[in-house]
Structure 1
Amino acid sequence: MDSTLFIVIYILGGIAIGYVVSTFLVKKSRQKVISEAESQAEIIVKEAKLNADSIKKDRIHEAKEKYLKLKSEFEDESNRKKNQIINNENKVKQREKDVSKQIEQYKRKEAELESQKENLEAQMQIVKQRKSDLEKARQEQTKALEKISGLSAEEAITQLKETLKDEARSKASSHIKDIIDEAKLTATKEAKKIVIQTIQRTATEHAIENCVSIFNIESDDIKGKIIGREGRNIRALESATGVEIIVDDTPEAIIISGFDPVRREVARLSLHRLVSDGRIHPARIEEIVSKTTKNIEEEIVEIGERTVIDLGIHGLHPELIKMVGRMRFRSSYGQNLLQHSREVAKLCATLASELGLNAKLAKRAGLLHDIGKVWPEEPEQPHAILGMELAKKYKEHPDVCNAIGAHHDEIEMTAMISPLIQTCDAISGSRPGARREIMESYIKRLKDLENLALNFDGVHKCYAIQAGRELRVLVDSENVSDQEANDLAFNISAKIESDMQYPGQIKVTVIREMRAVGYAK
């Protein structure tokens, strides 16, 4: 019993000692973990503070660099604008100096003219005095001659007239006989010339033309599609074709305005295809205009081939055939150039047959006589001379070349068909109407306006619209910046003012369009 109690007490004491020891060990282990965690937390906090300081310094450094960069860019931009303003002020001052110099020159010229006027009046007085002295001397000589001859001045004049009449009759009779003899030898040739000259005396000018085409639509709802959101479709169409599209209150009609018939036809056909297709947006517009332009080129060749076949002209060079097709879209003082040339060719063949000349050569020359008007490069020489050079280049008959070059008397006529071409050209233009040169000079002014802008660097396309009151210039966005576009508009305006004559004012619009293209594969 005592041993059992002792064992129980021993066990209970062991348990108590174990509990105390285990509690102490657990507490000590927990304190160790806590101290380690606290030390790690202190390390992490220190590292975080170091990283935060480093990041803060980097951000401050980056902010300073960005500030300095923006400041530098702002100063550069300010200096550039300041330099531009200074340059513009210098230009204005230079213009004022030029104007002042011109005014001074005009004043000097005016003074010189006044001085010359006074000298001229003095010289006129001297001339009048000398004339009066000469008249007195003549009267005195006449009186002296009358006294010597015993005849008055009127009687002497009458006798002299009678003597001269007799001599003139004698010489005229001899001369008429010689002319008649010569005429008998060359009767056929002279008769041909007389017939041609007679026709030439009866020819007059004619014709009118306009610069618009009408595109009919089924309903006015289509006008909204053609205009597009904020006008983007109509702007894309005008930029691609170079014409002005006028959408107004005219029912079921759209007006296409432009001085170039080919551009108007391209715009008309493109509108027709777009309306038929129903898909109208800038990308589709450019695609349709490109296809239509190619189709027009093919149609030009077909028109030329059909024309030469209808007229029975063979062996014509392909380039000349293409130029004949271009005549379909060109007007000469209001007449369609192709119809005019066909008519001249037929008239030349008929008259050549009547006069016993080569009808085939005459017809060929009649068709080609205005070929110089459709040469696209617009050289600085008359269209007759250019047409003659083109005919020589493509190895046409020398008589044909001479007839083309001489139909406006730019060169001497050496072939018998040459006056024939001139005559038939006038006959074709002699139908009732009012043939004016105003239209030709107007078109030439618009072409000169476009060519002037195309001579500037970076200009991609150029269109004169609104009867020459606006010039739209399309530039390459890769080569021309926004600022350079502003400078280009100013330079083109200054060039137009200095080099051209025009009514009113011309608005120069420079369009710089940026396009980004990507492909998904």
Structure 2
Amino acid sequence: MLSSIIITAFITFGVGAVIGVIVYKYFLAKELSESKKLADKILEEARKEASAQKKEALLQAKDEIFRQKKEWEKECREKEKELKRQEQRLQEKEERIEKRLEDVSQKERELLAWESKLSREERKLEEKNSQLESLILEQTKKLEEVSGLTREEARRLLLEEMENKVKHEAAKRMRQIEMEAQEQAAKKAKEILATAVQRYAGEYVVDNTVTVVELPNEEMKGRIIGREGRNIRALEAATGVDLIIDDTPETVVLSAFNPLRREIARQALERLISDGRIHPARIEEVVEKVQREMDDKLKEIGEQATFDVGVHGIHPELIRLLGRLYYRTSFSQNVLQHSLEVAFLCGIMAAELGLDEKLAKRAGLLHDIGKAVDHEVEGPHALIGADLAKKYGESEEVIHAIAAHHEDVSPSSVLAVLVQAADSLSGARPGARKELLENYVKRLEELENIATSFEGVEKAYAIQAGRELRVMVDCEKIGDDNTYLLCKEIAKKIEEEMTYPGQIKITVIRERRAVDFAK
């Protein structure tokens, strides 16, 4: 029974499997058929699309060929027109050339005619020249017979007379030109100097050689002097300043020609008085501290001076030396203030002349830099200053201007002359410097003595505070032309033998008087 059931199950399973295989093959065949149809359809659509694209490409190619053909035809037409224009221009040029050739041929024929005419004229001139030469020889012989002079002697006399005449005329003309040039130059220089003076008005304060320090009480004098005078000696030794303690109540006088030392001594003494501890060790300590602070202050003063003038790039050591000029005087004039005035005046005059204004200011500011160390180095302060400027990298123009501002070196540039003029203006203006009466009178006498030392001078007068010299000459001994030479010689001798600020005008006067009496 069990076996029949198993057999039946196997048979049923086999039949089902066969049916499943048949059904699978059926559906597989159906899918293959549908896939083939779909593939054929897609292939057909692809063929159609390719055919359409091919047609479109052919149309585009035909359009591009047609467009290029039109452009090429247009280009050909334009080139053809250009060729025609060029051909026309060439034809016109050819016509002009032919016309010019005809003109040249005509001119050539005319030139040939002129040449023949000139040849005939030349022959005629040669004949006339020969005739003239023979006439000149004949007349020369007659003149030699009449005058008793040979031809060479007559020529020599004539040339000598002409030479003397020309020399006289040339001398007069030269003197006239020089006088006109001097007048114009003097007028222009006065205008520039007047403009510079009007545009700059500097302050001036007279520096004294003493400084007064106020004391809180009379007892402080004894403390400053110290036991057996050791404090005052220590203070004088440390500062190089003389302390004058007299009967003046509550006052100590510091005396020294060096303003920098006086200032250091004043500050040190005021600090010692306020501190109350006054003994030699403390004095040396305070003086050293004030000196260090003064070095910083000198640098600040120098930097402020360069800032005020508008000059930059100066070496720090030169700036410190400029600060030292604040405590340096010349004829009671503060040298730093004087240097600032000279710098401003140089800048103004340089601007009027169209020169480098900054370079002029730089030279003016540094022109007296040698005075900061002239008590330490031997030689004129102008040459000392030039060496310092060269050492610290200043330009050749500035170095030469510094060296030449007192004629220690002959000025060879406009800048050097500007510094000279500005230096004279600043030093010679009223109130700038004090001068002793004895020196003033001595300078006037020296001026008059120099003028009267020349032969032919009758009298000489120094006027306008020594700024002008009037010279009266003997009209019998000095001629008109010689007055001009005498004036130059007097000026040259004054320049060589005297030292003076600014310039001195020399006027030589020659007159002839005729006197008679009506009776």
TM bucket, shorter chain = 0.3 to 0.5
TM-score by length of 1: 0.46
TM-score by length of 2: 0.47
Question: Comparing both chains, which one has the higher relative contact order based on Cα–Cα distances under 8 Å and sequence gaps of 6 or more?
Answer: 1
- Structure showing greater radius of gyration is 2
